Structure 1
Amino acid sequence: MNPIKRGVLALCLLASGGAFAADAISLTIDTAKPGAVINKDIYGQFAEHLGTGIYEGMWVGPKSKIPNTRGWRNDVVGALKDIHVPLVRWPGGCFADEYHWKDGVGPREKRPVKVNTNWGGVDEPNAVGTHEFFDLVEQLGADAYVNGNLGTGSAQEMSEWIEYMTSDSKSTLANLRRKNGRDKPFKVAYFAVGNEAWGCGGNMSPQYYSDLYRQVETFLRAPKQYRPKIIASGGNDNDVAWSEVLSKELKKQTYGISFHYYTIPTGKWEGKGASTGFAENEWISTMARTLRMEDHIRRNSAAMDKNDPEKKLGLLVDEWGTWYDVEKGTNPGFLFQQNTLRDAVVAALNFNIFHAHADRVRMTNIAQMVNVLQSMIITDKDKMVLTPTYYAYQMYVPFQNATSLPVTLQNNPDYTAGEFKIPEISASAARGADGKLYLALVNTNPNKEADVALNIPGQTVRSLKGNVLTAAAMDTHNTFQAPNAIKPAPFTAAAGADGKLSVKVPAKAVIVVAVE
């Protein structure tokens, strides 16, 4: 084990008992006031036909020498199963509004080759289509979120796709599905009408989109037991007009309204910032900008509350994550970026925000699963490496379908650098589906550890047991040459003789523990 890892592990195993430090942050968990259930789909994933996110990264074809099951890489699928992927969104993204589903069914060698005009202008072979996608989600044990083509498609095309996927009749389309190898209907958990209708999906106004949506939704018919939940394409960033209009106009069969927000260190699309080799000013700017997710959710939720006070509609953050300048020497249209400790901290901060708003936020989909933007996995031919973001998802698995609990932080200092100032500690707690109490802590300060005094009224806390993710450098990342440069290490803490428990949270760290 290298010296840095030995030092980090030793730090992780330290526990502080006895008297609280004078400047300790006070954290109180109110177990008597359970909140909303944290829908497992908050930990959803996103796989778009973009770069090597699907082709090469996940799909190698059944004839590949890389071990696979019906074309899907065994190593990638196995790793994704280990983080309990609950949901996968496909085929886009911007790609969805130029995707015609009939191009992706039938014998693969006879499928048309198209041009992926959104992402790199490369050939799209249509080797991965409806049947292949459902094979993937079934291998993962995940639900399917299918994004329909509103931009260049039609109500008829989406209606026929739904029939093809879900009909148990003897219709021509249902029989075509059977001819293509699938007897029983596919389970389509969610179906979205378009994507980013305000931009790449058609440059529409929310009023115009709502009219189109109502038309399309009328014809999305399926047997009751196979009918997907229908999703409307909403807004992004500070634009709440979409949430206001759609929550007023779309109430009957709509499950939720989507929302997109990406974290960019510089705040500028031109010159976003590098994924590695960054200074502290871009560490804190990234944290500050990702924390704006909370304000975006609050503002959109408030807009929706006017028309939907009972919160029947979900706010679905089905694209989010970090977005940096692409790595040098790679295709700019492939959106490949390295993934570091900074990304894991960003992910954890967002998880804590989503938990706090679980009454309205019922699904999120990080962009994206493999080789694209803030990915879980990076591959190169037969090689595979897990990213720090992957490990953040792995650590937070106990929060899937857990019941959120109120958390109060007092004496929480600000971490300040340059023009930015953010809270040092972020926290979330929940009662897991297994009955255990779980606590997540994030230290945004890259320079110093924090003392957190834990208080749970009516409960004696004996110990904490779980994992911590941290490293010596802000941009620590895994490579094919050093695949274990950063990964979770065991973390424990025990109450002192006076029955009190204080946690030392290392600098730039994510901790998830079970409270005993």
Structure 2
Amino acid sequence: MRLPRLRRLLMCGALLTAGTLVPAVTPPAVAAADPVQVTVNTRAGLATVPDTGIGVNHAIWDTTLGSNDVADLLKDAGVQMVRYPGGSYADIYHWKTHTAPGGYVAPDTDFDTFMRGARRTGAQPIIIANYGTGTPQEAAEWVEYANVTKGYGVKYWEIGNENYGNGHYGSEWEADNHADKSPSEYARNVVAYAEAMKAKDPTIKIGAVLTTPANWPDAITASGDSGSWNQTVLSIAGPSIDFVILHWYPPQNGVADMLTKTAHVDDMMYLLKRQIAQYAGAGSSRIGIAVTEINSGVGTNTQPGALFAAEAYARLLEHGVFTVDWWNVHNGIGTVSQVAGHTDYGDWGMLSSAGCAGDVCEPPFNTPFPAYHALDMLSTFARPGDQLVRAAAADPLVSAHAVRRANGEVAVLLVNKDPDASREVTLDYAGFAPAAGAPVVHSFTNGATAVTSAPAGTATAQTLPPYSLTTLVLRPVSAPSVLPGAPGTPEVSAVTDTTATISWPAATAGSSAVAKYEVYRQLGANSEQWGETTGTSFTVHNLRPGTRYTVNVITRDTGGGQSWSSRPVTFTTGSPAQSSCSVRFTDNSDWGNGYLVGLDVTNTGTEPLSNWTLVFSWPTGWQQINGGWSADWSQEGRTVTVKPSAGSGPLAPGATVSAGTVASYSGPNVLPALFTLNGRTCTTL
């Protein structure tokens, strides 16, 4: 949680008037020389857009938390979920007395007032039960009051907020009165909270706090613990919870760096889902993911904040996250600076608090900042029930996202992260034929005060202004027929180094009978057909060892109709069961952005190896070795090469050489899975 800068700014903000600020003159946009190719592949389905996806945070120190004006502004932006009572305050807040010892509670911010605002917005609430200074009984009574006494139907309940910040890992900002502050104690209490709360309403969903992969203190094992926070919490509380909770404030070094951090989402979600599957026990696929706090951390009141918000929400929703909640509705003025030709107030709210810092004042109270307009754009782009599909752009400063709709439309969200140059883009479509004529284009540009809409360009050619968000809504060339249903979510079994079996629930027929199923691998925004079958399982061969694959299945009927694609399934192949070499790669003493690598290389062949070379590639571009011992280590790009130290003797059959290095990472740390020794693929232990 990010606390308010000065609570008096929120208390008196409505009475303040903004000073006159003249933004710096923005130089004329310069068009990039070559058109950027954008590919939209409606055959490569991702997640379905939920009805809770676009969320925000409310805090009990915000005097206008339940006001009609704020509720209506959130409704206009398409907000679907609101979180209460506000970050770290949740662990000192007692709902019955509406008090937070040690913190400020504004008048008219009690639970019933919050619920009136949420209902006026048309948003679902997500409530944080007090773990730090509360009890399971107190939380259970809140559930009873909310859903039995008042009939509010509050479905989602978090157990605490950032409870890993209780001092167990060194840093301490979260209140926690428990004598034992370990992840195992938190997990045991989550189980107790879930039992007590569900005894009052068994239909509610309980969420447990996790750490975000590659963000402190993820991967750290504290003294006395048997594993990291996530491993411990999932192992104990997994069977009792319905969703997990992440907060994401990506570490950054300025605006340009911040805008690159959304590239971490794919691996971040991959690691998290793997942890859930590995540690949460049987039936873990039911566990949802919520990102209940997120903010850019820099440029928050200017266009970069909007670009980050739109890109981060879209990427997280593509991975099936059921809510992404901006921190915060109001927060308060911070350090003032100039960003992208406009004044940034260092305010982590999406609506102005009208505060002042020295002789600089924010605009009038409730004036939307650009992040607000990003949510407005997202609600235009992705509607509940739409299917997110793969889209990609051949330029690192342009991002593309797309959805398909039940009425046959396709919407494409384009983000130009270049502050100076516009981008001409050309768009290609797979599995969709757009109608002729100018599509409706929604645009939010640097310095704008609203999203504008008008027909512009064509379905295959658009101009993106510098630092802009653009959404195209495209009609199909012909009305859709009654298509067959999509197959159910696939599952993968019998995975080896070169094979895997993919199975799925059968689809329902449309206008014609189901003829077959087609199995596709996602390759960026493209698809590679692996095969087809009339059954509901397919075994694929000739896969590459140690490789991550994402697969969809599509239904084809006897009339040629093609369904929406299934949800994707991702798996990673293993290594050969038998080989002339084996490798053990271990992550030791991880401190959050680096660790000690332990590497054991064994000659399992029959001949001695006098001049061996081990090669592996890091899965991401933000992993690096630093020095090394007991072998010669080098890295070029992502490829790491390990050779015997000078004077080393041959590696005899059955012998093992042990070496190590210090590895660092600045993003999700996916460990390498494929190693070759003198060109031969090794067994990974």
Cα distance in 2, alignment partners of residues 88 and 311 from structure 1: 25
* C-alpha deviation, 1:458, in angstroms: 4.3
Q: Which has the higher contact order (CA 8 A, sep 6+)?
A: 1
Q: Say whether 1:257 aligns with 2:244.
A: yes
1:296-375 to structure 2, matched below 5 A, reads: 296-307=268-279, 311-324=285-298, 339-358=301-320, 361-371=321-331, 373-375=347-349
Task: Call closer, same or farther: CA 1:164–1:350 in 2, change over 3 Å.
Answer: same
Indicate the SS of the match to 2:274.
helix
TM-score, length basis structure 2: 0.54
* C-alpha deviation, 1:300, in angstroms: 1.6
* C-alpha deviation, 1:188, in angstroms: 0.9
Task: Call closer, same or farther: CA 1:310–1:194 in 2, change over 3 Å.
Answer: closer
Task: Call closer, same or farther: CA 1:30–1:201 in 2, change over 3 Å.
Answer: farther
Task: Call closer, same or farther: CA 1:42–1:125 in 2, change over 3 Å.
Answer: closer
Q: Say whether 1:186 aligns with 2:152.
A: yes
Identify, as 1 or 2, the structure richer in helix: 1
Partner residue, 2:127: 146
* C-alpha deviation, 1:434, in angstroms: 5.5
* C-alpha deviation, 1:251, in angstroms: 3.6
Query: What percent of counterpart residues are identical?
Result: 23
* C-alpha deviation, 1:388, in angstroms: 1.0
Partner residue, 2:506: none
Indicate the SS of the match to 1:152.
coil
Task: Call closer, same or farther: CA 1:24–1:407 in 2, change over 3 Å.
Answer: farther
Partner residue, 1:48: 59
Cα distance in 2, alignment partners of residues 229 and 297 from structure 1: 21
Q: Quick one: which amino acid aligns to residue 425 of structure 2? A: V
* C-alpha deviation, 1:385, in angstroms: 0.8
Q: Quick one: which amino acid aligns to residue 256 of structure 1? A: F
* C-alpha deviation, 1:76, in angstroms: 2.0
1:10-89 to structure 2, matched below 5 A, reads: 23-50=34-61, 54-55=62-63, 58-59=64-65, 72-89=66-83
Q: Quick one: which amino acid aligns to residue 187 of structure 2? A: S
Task: Call closer, same or farther: CA 1:49–1:435 in 2, change over 3 Å.
Answer: farther
In the alignment, is the contact (CA less than 8 A) between 2:390 and 2:401 conserved in 1? yes
Identify, as 1 or 2, the structure richer in strand: 2
In the alignment, is the contact (CA less than 8 A) between 1:99 and 1:149 conserved in 2? yes
In structure 1, which of residues 440, 456, 475 is the aligned counterpart of residue 429 of structure 2?
456
* C-alpha deviation, 1:232, in angstroms: 0.8
Q: Quick one: which amino acid aligns to residue 233 of structure 1? A: V
In structure 2, which of residues 431, 442, 447 is the aligned counterpart of residue 467 of structure 1?
442
Partner residue, 2:164: 198
Partner residue, 2:196: 219
Q: Deviations over 1:85-123 (max 9, x none)?
A: 21111002100000111112xxxxxxx68541xxxxxx4
Cα distance in 2, alignment partners of residues 433 and 247 from structure 1: 37
In the alignment, is the contact (CA less than 8 A) between 1:426 and 1:442 conserved in 2? yes
* C-alpha deviation, 1:144, in angstroms: 1.3
TM-score, length basis structure 1: 0.71
In the alignment, is the contact (CA less than 8 A) between 1:339 and 1:387 conserved in 2? yes
Indicate the SS of the match to 1:304.
helix
- Which sections of structure 2, spanning at least 5 residues, go unmatched? 1-22, 166-173, 220-227, 333-346, 356-363, 476-685
In structure 2, which of residues 211, 235, 242 is the aligned counterpart of residue 248 of structure 1?
235
In the alignment, is the contact (CA less than 8 A) between 1:402 and 1:431 conserved in 2? no
Partner residue, 2:463: 504
Task: Call closer, same or farther: CA 1:291–1:459 in 2, change over 3 Å.
Answer: closer
Q: Deviations over 1:174-228 (max 9, x none)?
A: 4xxxxxxxxx42221211111111011539332221111112211113565x732
Partner residue, 1:403: 386
Q: Which structure has the larger Rg over C-alpha atoms?
A: 2
After alignment, is 311-320 or 246-255 more displaced? 246-255
In structure 1, which of residues 61, 86, 96 is the aligned counterpart of residue 90 of structure 2?
96
Task: Call closer, same or farther: CA 1:102–1:233 in 2, change over 3 Å.
Answer: same
Cα distance in 2, alignment partners of residues 427 and 191 from structure 1: 33
Task: Call closer, same or farther: CA 1:208–1:433 in 2, change over 3 Å.
Answer: farther
Q: Say whether 1:388 aligns with 2:370.
A: yes
Task: Call closer, same or farther: CA 1:46–1:443 in 2, change over 3 Å.
Answer: same
Cα distance in 1, alignment partners of residues 285 and 158 from structure 2: 19
Indicate the SS of the match to 1:459.
coil
Aligned pairs, number: 405
* C-alpha deviation, 1:24, in angstroms: 2.8
